[in-house]
Structure 1
Amino acid sequence: MSHLLRHPRVDSQLEAAVTRDEHGVETISTVDVEPTLRNAVWEARNRSHLLGLKASSPQQTGVVGTMRSAVINGLSVADITGNAHTVERTPEMAQQLRVDSVMFTFVLAGESFHFNGTSPVLVKQGEVAIYDSDTPFLLGFSEGMHAIVASVPRYHLADIGMQDAFRNLKVMQHNGNGVDSESTRHLLNVLTDAFEAPVGVNPHEFGETFVEATLQALRRLSGQAKDSTKDYFTEAMALIQRHLVDPDLSVDGIARALNLSQRHLSRIFSSHGTTVAQAILQVRLENALTLLTTPEGLHLTAAQVGQRSGFGSPSHFSRVFRNQFGMSPTEARREQQLG
């Protein structure tokens, strides 16, 4: 278990090797780290910004590399260059340092091999390996390697009902032509936006936008392309219309019907300037106004209009109707008839 422990000299060397730019992106270089501590420093940086790994190099110099990294709303992206080295996610680490994310290793230069207990898989320049963070694996990189590595938490994928996606190792191209290559390259472009957060922009707002763009890119990559903000909003509003009189109509029910998390559904409605509860109330009030002021509802009492619009009690219906339209349901009907 020695590689799971921290050491004061490693922490000191790591702190001295890290710089930060105006975008909030941190960079570490092991060039000036003591050669005997380079592997340990590299491991420490991976553990804090990607996931726990054991690092080694066939060269006596140890891992000589540079890692530029950004962590946004739990989603980690690293731009890595270096000499020939390996990183291993041991069974012990997979058990004790759980991350529960989907990993993406985009090979931009050199080659990499991926071994997860079966047969080694070669990942060439222009390809990306997609794999589970908590399945033990060994990654090896050739001399002069350059890769973009990302860790996408499954709780973000759960927001769009894709928490079980990308469980098995898969290699795809991000260079070349074709739908798969284009969608994979699009994901790479979205992920590298993590390094260009606009200066002065609210970090929370940038984080929400970045995660949303990443999730849309992942849905596109999985073959389930959808504008998750626009289409899901439309589907949710249609569902509200269909279940208007259901007293149990709620954020939870709508989220489950669309296979989304409540958090993601709320984020979608927020992007349209409203909340789920406000949207439900607005649709119910508009339906009530229509019944009160058109021939189809003339035979109904005000209480019946409220009931058919999903309001549980006449008093509640009357109160929220007046708050919205400045008059009672009965006054709205009378004004329409007089007009």
Structure 2
Amino acid sequence: MTHVTPAGGGGAPVAFSTAGLPEAQRIELWESHNAEALIGLRCRSMSGAALDATEVNLQVDRLHLARVRGSSHVVERDAGMVRSRPAESVALFFSLAGEAFFYHDDGVRTVQPGQMLLCDADRPFMRGFSRGLEELVLKVPRELFTEATGITDVPKPVVTGFAAGANAHAHDLARMVGAAARDEDPVPVTEQALLDLLAALTGRDHQGDLTTAHRSAAQAYIDAHLSDPSLSAAQVAAAVGLSTRHLSRVFAQVDTSVPRYVLGRRLELARRLLEKPAATSMTIAEIAHHCGFSSAAHFSHAFTTHVGERASDVRRRAVAARAVPLP
């Protein structure tokens, strides 16, 4: 029996749960999973009850995202664990539910829902969740963190509010991580978009980085929903947490608009399919539908207008190329 299940296709989030596992083995298996998938920790139950926990993990290039839910427990990363399982990373924990305490060599902090804690994952710490937890995690390799933020050392943990009305950059970063690290309908995200928001959060060139991050997030969402004929600027704006007007300004900075970008990406996808010998079994109408066009006639007109040749001609060349015998 396996308790690790992909939440989608390639590059999709992967979920792990202790549900259904033998109660006596849950903590051991939870520790083993986290050591491989996120950060090595020692875990113990606070009440003696069996640990009930789930984790959704997502790797985005060099970054690791996670959504963690669990019953009351304590986790510890001591000096021995750091030596045996170095993370070589900076970790950001976004608390969604359940008050948490955080013991560090400089004291104790309490983290409430709506607050983010940033720390060096290789400085020993203990965290406790007396009422259970739900949180988001962003793990950033230390060299990449320095490259993105200019910060070379995180000697003490930093707590920042990310709820609406608090730190806008932390709020946007939490929203982006949360939308990507979920097992149902995850929103695609790029490494650069996350790094741009991280730079904005820590104060490096935040305005330009934030605009780039929003545009990257919107483009990733569009690319994942090209087959939806009802895809609109309003839908994209809601997915990335912006107003439609602000999203329009973000795209205007690179001399385009959301509708033009969507059309361009649909036509690029259609051309790749038309030119792909393995896709010659698809009719032009099927390709049009797959790429989000409401009708084959609309697709054919748009393709000829923007590409400069008819879709049928592109398809004819692909079929001819497939028919040429190999030497």
* Shorter-normalised TM range: 0.5 to 0.7
Instruction: Give the match for residue 197 of structure 2.
Output: 217
Find the partner of 2:119 among 126, 131, 152. Answer: 131
1:103 corresponds to 2:84: no
Aligned-partner Cα distance in 2 for 1:196–1:31:
17
Residues 50-199 of structure 1 aligned to structure 2 (within 5 Å)? 50-160=38-148, 162-164=150-152, 166-178=154-166, 181-195=167-181
Work out whether residues 219 and 226 of structure 1, in 8 Å CA contact, stay in contact via their aligned partners in 2: no
Change beyond 3 A, Cα 1:159–1:197: farther
Amino acid paired to 2:170:
T
Distance apart, 1:93 and its partner CA: 1.2
How much has 1:221 moved relative to structure 2?
Answer: 0.6
Change (3 A) 1:21 1:71: same
Q: Calculate the TM-score normalised by the size of structure 1.
A: 0.56
Please state whether the residue corresponding to 1:27 is helix, strand or coil: strand
Provide the rounded CA distance (Å) in 2 between the counterparts of 1:20 and 1:115.
33
Which string of whole-angstrom CA distances, capped at 9 and with x for unpartnered residues, describes residues 271-317 of structure 1?
x9xxxxxxxxxxxxxxxxxxxxxxxxxxxxxxxxxxxxxxxxxxxxx
Cα distance change on mapping 1:160 and 1:107 into 2, 3 Å: closer
**CA 1:73–1:163 in structure 2 vs 1: closer, same or farther (change >3 Å)?**
farther
Q: CA deviation at 1:163?
A: 4.7
SS of corresponding position for 2:105 = coil
Tell me the amino acid that sits aligned with residue 70 of structure 2: G
Pair 92,25 (structure 1): closer, same or farther in 2 beyond 3 Å = same
Give the C-alpha shift of residue 162 in structure 1.
2.3
Paired with 1:192 and 1:166, the residues of 2 have a C-alpha distance of: 24
Structure 1 residues 220 and 26, CA gap change in structure 2 (3 angstroms) = same
Is 2:19 aligned against 1:31?
yes
1:227 corresponds, among 198, 205, 208, to: 208
Q: Is the 8 A contact 1:190 1:217 kept in 2?
A: no
Distance 2:62 2:130 in 1: 29
- Normalised by the length of structure 2, the TM-score is 0.58
Contact map agreement 2:90 2:141 (CA 8 A) in 1: yes
**In structure 2, do the counterparts of structure 1 residues 196 and 138 end up closer, same or farther at CA, with 3 Å as the change threshold?**
closer
Shift of 1:48: 1.2
* Structure 2 runs not aligned, ≥5 long: 213-253, 255-327
C-alpha separation in 1, matches of 2:101 and 2:52: 19
Q: CA deviation at 1:155?
A: 2.5
Distance verdict in 2 for CA 1:64–1:171, change over 3 Å: same
Q: Secondary structure in 1 aligned to 2:148?
A: coil
| Deviation (angstroms), 1:111 | 0.5
Shift, 1:194, TM fit: 3.1
Cα deviation, residue 160, structure 1? 3.1
Alignment of 1:242-257 (within 5 A): none
Q: Measure the CA separation in 2 of the matches of 1:31 and 1:57.
A: 15
Contact kept, 8 Å, 2:114 with 2:163, in 1: the verdict is yes
Deviates more, 1:165-174 or 1:86-95: 165-174
Task: Tell me the amino acid that sits aligned with residue 184 of structure 1.
Answer: A
Give per-residue Cα distances to partners, 1:70-113, cap 9 Å, x unaligned.
Answer: 12223111111111011111101112211111111111111100
- Give aligned pairs, total: 209
CA offset digits 1:218-240 (Å, max 9, x no partner): 11111221535999xxxxxxxxx
Q: Secondary structure at the match of 1:131?
A: strand
What is aligned with 1:16? Answer: 2
Residues 295-314 of structure 1: pairs in structure 2 closer than 5 A: none
Evaluate the alpha carbon distance shift between residue 53 and residue 193 of structure 1 in structure 2; reply closer, same or farther with a 3 A threshold: same
Corresponding letter in the other structure for 2:197: A
Question: Which has more radius of gyration?
Answer: 1
Structure 1's unaligned 5+ residue stretches are: 1-14, 232-271, 273-339
Percent identical among aligned pairs is: 25
**What is the alpha-carbon root mean square deviation over aligned residues?**
2.7
Which SS does the other structure have where 1:16 is aligned? coil
Contact 1:127/1:175 (8 A) holds in 2: yes
- The verdict on how the C-alpha distance between 1:230 and 1:103 changes in structure 2, with shifts beyond 3 A counting, is closer
Rounded to whole Å, the distance in 1 between the matches of 2:55 and 2:101 is 19
**Cα contact 2:46–2:130 (8 A) shared by 1:** no
Rate the CA distance shift 1:191–1:118 in 2: closer, same or farther, 3 A: same
Q: Is the 8 A contact 2:169 2:200 kept in 1?
A: yes
